[in-house]
Amino acid sequence: MLKPLLSIIVPCYNAQPYLARCLAPLLAVERGLEVILVDDGSTDQTGAMIDQYAAAHPTLIRALHQANGGHGAAIMAGIQAAGGDYLKVVDADDWLDQAALLRVLAFLQELREQGEQIDMLVSNYTYDKINAPRKKTIRYPHLPTHQVFSWEAVHLPLGEYLLMHAVIYRTAMLVNEAHLALPRHTFYVDNLYVFQPLPFVKRLYYLDVDLYHYFIGRADQSVNEAVMLKRIDQQLLVNRLMIRYYTQVTSLDSGLGKYMAHYLEIITTISSVLLLKDGRPAALAKKQALWHDLAQFDPALHNLLRHHWLGLGVNLPGKIGRRVAVQGYQLAQKWYGFN
């Protein structure tokens, strides 16, 4: 039996209403794919459903069950079980475009036949927001196409960065080089999943296909703004872990360092704006503490982020400054289509 080209990990927690839609485009793929469904201690019928899918499609689907450990624990369980050359995480309420997936698999097959490998494959994703008048697809027109490239060729403008939905990683790189480890019982670890392996990514390729559909807008969703405000301490934990990791592995001088700083700028801005929207003294103190910690960990990085226009915006003084920062963020929400 040939080794799969691509392992798709689907972390599942109470995903019963969404699994059929997530799996439909995957079931139509005949070769080159393995799907690993990880039931993370669901309390509905998710566990039984993934067992049924695995029984009906034994050459395609594997079902794993574990006590609840959170999104990161489910991803790690899937990575440990993955046998494909490359790996992608698909949340159970999201889905992939079938035609785009076939193009991805054809490209990965070409790499195998040529004896070549890359560390990261980038593709596009679409914000499928409930009741949105338009669907916003995130593409990367500033990346090179039809060629393998390095970080020195990456010059993404503000607003373009690589979310989990955009990336496929080489499995051996994640496991044997990056030694990816995600915290348990923590939301928003998808940012760590993308961020931590970046120093080990040497060869990148951008395939301009609209692969991932990111379903957003549910009231109970972890990225819903009200939910994020309630879980702000977990967002801040992930933010600080990213800062600490950055200071350990890279500098601002390289193309990689510049991109990682760009990513951190976005995440730190989101954390700051959420705390500004809260507006209570405790929340504002947490924002100040985050920027203070950034200065302690890496003064040069702090100086760069603090004096870029996003950093300036979220640190404007007084109530008027806070209002301006929040309104700017709301404009970005409308433009980019996120929650």
CATH number at residue 153: 3.90.550.10
Whole-angstrom distance, CA of residue 331 vs CA of residue 61: 42
| Number of CB atoms found within 10 A of residue 315's CB | 18
Asked if 27 and 95 count as a contact pair (C-beta separation under 8 A), the reply is no
Which of 163, 185, 216 corresponds to the end of one domain?
216
pLDDT at 226: 76
**Residue 6: φ, ψ to 5°:** -140, 130
Q: Is residue 156 part of a domain?
A: yes
Helix, strand, or coil (residue 9): strand
> Using N-to-C axis directions, what is the helix angle for 255-278 and 318-336, rounded to 10°?
120
**Residue 41: φ, ψ to 5°:** 70, 40
pLDDT at 315: 74
pLDDT at 224: 64
Q: Is residue 186 part of a domain?
A: yes
**205 and 84 belong to one structural domain:** yes
**24 and 102 belong to one structural domain:** yes
pLDDT at 327: 74
pLDDT tens-digit readout, 98-141: 999 999 999 999 999 999 999 999 999 999 877 776 788 999 99
pLDDT at 135: 84
**232 and 201 belong to one structural domain:** no
**165 and 250 belong to one structural domain:** no
**211 and 322 belong to one structural domain:** no
Whole-angstrom distance, CA of residue 194 vs CA of residue 130: 26
**Residue 319: φ, ψ to 5°:** -65, -35
Token look-up 């100040």 returns: 288
Whole-angstrom distance, CA of residue 200 vs CA of residue 245: 13
Which residues, in sequence order, are bridge partners of residue 125?
A: 138, 212
**118 and 180 belong to one structural domain:** yes
Helix, strand, or coil (residue 33): strand
**108 and 247 belong to one structural domain:** no
Q: What is the count of structural domains for the chain?
A: 2
How many residues does the structure list for the chain?
339
pLDDT at 242: 96
**60 and 196 belong to one structural domain:** yes
Report the first-to-last Cα separation within the chain, whole angstroms. Answer: 43
pLDDT at 323: 77
State both tokens at 197: 């392996």
Asked if 231 and 147 count as a contact pair (C-beta separation under 8 A), the reply is no
**170 and 245 belong to one structural domain:** no
**193 and 292 belong to one structural domain:** no
Kindly give the pairing relationship between strand 204-216 and strand 6-12: unpaired
pLDDT tens-digit readout, 213-222: 999 876 655 5
Asked if 121 and 205 count as a contact pair (C-beta separation under 8 A), the reply is yes
State both tokens at 157: 């403008």
pLDDT at 331: 62
pLDDT tens-digit readout, 47-92: 999 999 999 999 999 999 999 999 999 999 999 999 999 999 999 9
Which of 170, 197, 216 corresponds to the end of one domain?
216
**237 and 318 belong to one structural domain:** yes
Q: Is residue 1 part of a domain?
A: no
Whole-angstrom distance, CA of residue 299 vs CA of residue 316: 20
pLDDT at 335: 54
What range does the domain containing 154 cover? 6-216
Token look-up 């109470």 returns: 14
- The structure's pTM equals 0.92
**Residue 228: φ, ψ to 5°:** -60, -35
Whole-angstrom distance, CA of residue 99 vs CA of residue 29: 10
Closest-CA residue to 63 (of 82, 43, 36): 36
Task: Give the residue ranges of DSSP H helices in the chain.
Answer: 19-27, 46-56, 71-81, 98-114, 171-172, 190-195, 225-230, 232-249, 255-278, 281-297, 299-307, 309-314, 318-336
Residues of the chain with pLDDT under 70: 1, 133, 218-224, 250-253, 316, 321, 325, 328-339
pLDDT at 296: 94
**152 and 231 belong to one structural domain:** no
